């Protein structure tokens, strides 16, 4: 299982990587949306979840999300928005653009792990 | 984020729904807690108010949304070796007693249950303590293989993390001394610590709700149900203690949290000070008249 961390902050990418490791996943990294699309293109079925920042230089989170959902290969790929923008309108805009879930920044690793598991539909029965 | 200030009038409805699915009874003063934990879950559904949220939760026959609510509301902070005293009592008093009983053949198995185990810190603390005591050679007869440690929780996400036995830096920092960290964990990825496989295998995790019938799990010599009762109403507490009484044989022990003294249920349990910790010892069942 592989998770893609798309964030211009190296610290956030590292946090996502650690949370991925705890739940037993590997983590790929991209600093903005365009780079993330290239990584997905290179391995279209390789990722189970994208953790996505909103504001990034280059292609931002919402533009990336729209591009992702416009491609039938990634219509159902879960996307978790990690964002400091968490007012109701922005959240609704993200959900409308195809985000599966969101997590307001700042967050801690433990909450992030739980959210990732939730997005992946993983649990223990 | 869902705007709770505009939804205050509907808060009682939400609290009632939480009580129904999670069995946790919260008063309106706990709005901050509900807000912090359910804010994003409600926000993600895109609903405009609480009644609409409850309606879609009820209509979701897959149970996914219900599980999300349970995960968000019930996943609690947990620590390694929480409150030092019970662990001292295990090490100095209970383990020697179990060791003697196992060595003499009076018993061949000790069953331990951790109720509401969250991400596994409590059962794993017990397993590490046991393994360390056994390998020290101080207590001949104390064989970890003779112990069966079962732990349950309601949250599927918590259980998955528990069974992985991998913890982040924040979790490792909560109550775990360097001694345990060095002996039983390896940093496999920067900031991620993997519990020793031997310890991981000592604990079995199951998904159970405290509302469920517990009798199917069998009988236990020691039941830890710590810092759990504080969340529940008296009526539910009484019922839970009766059901715990049913899975502890005569002489078996119940351990509650340090701030949860038990003044009721004297027909089932007697207070017993073991070392510096109060345990509740199962009394013999009264024969039916």
Residues of A in contact with B3 (CB under 8 A): 88
3-class secondary structure per residue, chain B:
CCCCHHHHHHHHHHHHHHHHHHCCCCCHHHHHHHHHHHHHHHHHHCCCCHHHHHHHHHHCCCCHHHHHHHHHHHCCCCCCCCCHHHHHHHHHHHHHHHHHHHHHCCCCCEEEEECCCCCCHHHHHHHHHHHHHHHCCCCCCCCHHHEEEEEEECCHHHHHHHHHCEEEHHHHCCCCCHHHHHHHEEEEECCEEEECHHHHHHEEEEECCCCCCCHHHCCCCEEEECCCHHHCCHHHHHHHHHHHHHCCCCCCEEEECCCCCCCCCCCCEEEEEECCEEEEEECCCCCCC
As a whole number, mean pLDDT of residues B171-195 equals: 94
Residues of B in contact with A125 (CB under 8 A): 156, 207
**pLDDT tens by residue, A46-61:** 999 999 999 999 999 9
DSSP bridge pairs for B277: B274
User: Which tokens go with B263?
Assistant: 């003044």
Mean pLDDT of chain B: 90
Q: Does B75 touch chain A (CB under 8 A)?
A: yes
Whole-angstrom distance, CA of residue B197 vs CA of residue B203: 11
Q: Does A125 touch chain B (CB under 8 A)?
A: yes
Q: Does A84 touch chain B (CB under 8 A)?
A: no
Residues of A in contact with B192 (CB under 8 A): 18, 21-22
**pLDDT at residue A94 tops 80:** yes
Are B43 and A91 within 8 A, CB to CB?
yes
Contact B87, B177 (CB under 8 A): no
- So what's the pLDDT on residue B122? 97
Whole-angstrom distance, CA of residue A48 vs CA of residue A97: 19
Q: Would you tell me which residues 167-186 of chain B have a C-beta closer than 8 angstroms to some C-beta of chain A?
A: 167-171
Of all residues in chain A, the one with the smallest CA distance to B47 is: A92
Q: Does B188 touch chain A (CB under 8 A)?
A: yes
Q: Does A16 touch chain B (CB under 8 A)?
A: no
Contact B4, B14 (CB under 8 A): no
**pLDDT at residue B286 tops 90:** no
Cis peptide before B70 (omega within 30 of 0): no
* Spatial CB neighbours of B250, under 8 Å, sequence gap ≥ 6: B282, B283, B284, B285
Q: Does A86 touch chain B (CB under 8 A)?
A: yes
As a whole number, mean pLDDT of residues A111-124 equals: 81
Return the minimum-mean-pLDDT range out of B108-117, B118-127, B169-178, B273-282: B169-178
**pLDDT at residue A35 tops 90:** yes
Residues of B in contact with A24 (CB under 8 A): 164, 166
Whole-angstrom distance, CA of residue B271 vs CA of residue B289: 25
Contact B261, B229 (CB under 8 A): no
- So what's the pLDDT on residue A45? 95
- So what's the pLDDT on residue B289? 59
Distance from CA of B142 to the nearest CA of A (A): 31
* Spatial CB neighbours of B143, under 8 Å, sequence gap ≥ 6: B102, B134
Contact A98, A66 (CB under 8 A): yes
**pLDDT tens by residue, B198-223:** 999 999 999 998 888 899 999 999 99
- So what's the pLDDT on residue B203? 98
Are A92 and B170 within 8 A, CB to CB?
no
Are B168 and A121 within 8 A, CB to CB?
no
Of all residues in chain A, the one with the smallest CA distance to B193 is: A22
- So what's the pLDDT on residue B32? 85
Contact A9, A53 (CB under 8 A): yes
As a whole number, mean pLDDT of residues B126-151 equals: 96
What's the ipTM?
0.73
| Identity of the residue in B40, B156, B171 whose CB atom sits nearest the CB atom of A123 | B156
* Spatial CB neighbours of B80, under 8 Å, sequence gap ≥ 6: B121, B124, B125, B174, B175, B176, B180
Whole-angstrom distance, CA of residue A90 vs CA of residue A96: 10
| Identity of the residue in A18, A92, A103 whose CB atom sits nearest the CB atom of B168 | A18
| Identity of the residue in B71, B190, B205 whose CB atom sits nearest the CB atom of A118 | B71
Q: Which residue has the higher pLDDT, B264 or B151?
A: B151
Distance from CA of A29 to the nearest CA of B (A): 15
Q: Which residue of B189, B194, B195 to mutate against A (max A Cβ within 10 Å)?
A: B189
- Give the HSE-up count for residue B256: Cα atoms under 13 Å, Cβ half-sphere: 22
Distance from CA of A80 to the nearest CA of B (A): 11
pTM assigned to the model: 0.84
| Identity of the residue in A21, A88, A124 whose CB atom sits nearest the CB atom of B3 | A88
**pLDDT tens by residue, B236-255:** 889 999 999 999 999 999 99
């Amino acid at each position: 299982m592989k998770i893609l961390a798309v964030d211009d902050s190296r610290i956030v990418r590292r946090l996502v990587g650690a949370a991925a490791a705890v739940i037993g996943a590997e983590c790929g990294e991209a600093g903005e949306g365009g780079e993330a699309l290239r990584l997905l293109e290179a391995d279209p079925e390789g990722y189970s979840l994208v953790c996505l920042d909103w504001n990034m230089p280059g292609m931002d989170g919402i533009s990336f999300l729209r591009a992702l959902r416009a491609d039938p290969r990634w219509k159902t790929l879960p996307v978790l928005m990690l964002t400091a923008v968490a007012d109701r309108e922005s959240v609704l805009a993200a959900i409308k653009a195809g985000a599966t879930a969101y997590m307001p920044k700042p967050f801690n690793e433990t909450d992030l792990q739980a959210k990732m598991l939730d997005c992946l539909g993983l649990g223990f029965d | 984020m869902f705007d709770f200030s505009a939804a205050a009038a509907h808060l009682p409805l939400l609290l009632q729904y939480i009580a129904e699915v999670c069995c946790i009874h919260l008063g309106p003063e706990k709005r901050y807690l509900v807000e912090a934990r359910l804010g994003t879950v409600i926000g993600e559904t895109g609903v405009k108010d609480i009644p609409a949220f409850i309606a879609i939760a009820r209509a979701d026959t897959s149970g996914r949304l219900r599980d999300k609510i349970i995960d968000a509301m019930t996943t609690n902070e947990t620590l390694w070796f929480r409150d030092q005293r019970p662990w001292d009592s295990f090490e100095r008093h209970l383990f020697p007693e179990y060791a003697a009983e196992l060595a003499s053949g009076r018993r061949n198995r000790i069953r331990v249950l951790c109720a509401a185990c969250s991400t596994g810190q409590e059962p794993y603390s017990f397993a590490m303590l046991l393994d360390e005591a056994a390998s020290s050679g101080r207590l001949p007869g104390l064989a970890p293989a003779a112990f069966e440690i079962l732990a349950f929780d309601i949250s599927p996400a918590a259980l998955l993390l528990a069974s992985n036995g991998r913890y982040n830096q924040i979790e490792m920092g909560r109550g775990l001394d360097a001694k345990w960290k060095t002996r039983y964990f390896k940093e496999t990825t920067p900031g991620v610590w993997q519990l020793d496989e031997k310890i991981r295998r000592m604990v079995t995790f199951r998904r159970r709700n405290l509302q469920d019938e517990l009798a199917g799990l069998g009988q236990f010599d020691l039941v830890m149900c710590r810092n759990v009762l504080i969340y529940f109403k008296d009526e539910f507490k009484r019922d839970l203690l009766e059901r715990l009484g049913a899975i502890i044989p005569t002489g078996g022990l119940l351990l509650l949290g340090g701030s949860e003294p038990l003044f009721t249920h004297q027909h089932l349990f007697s207070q017993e000070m073991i070392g510096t910790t109060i345990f509740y010892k199962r009394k013999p069942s009264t024969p039916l008249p």
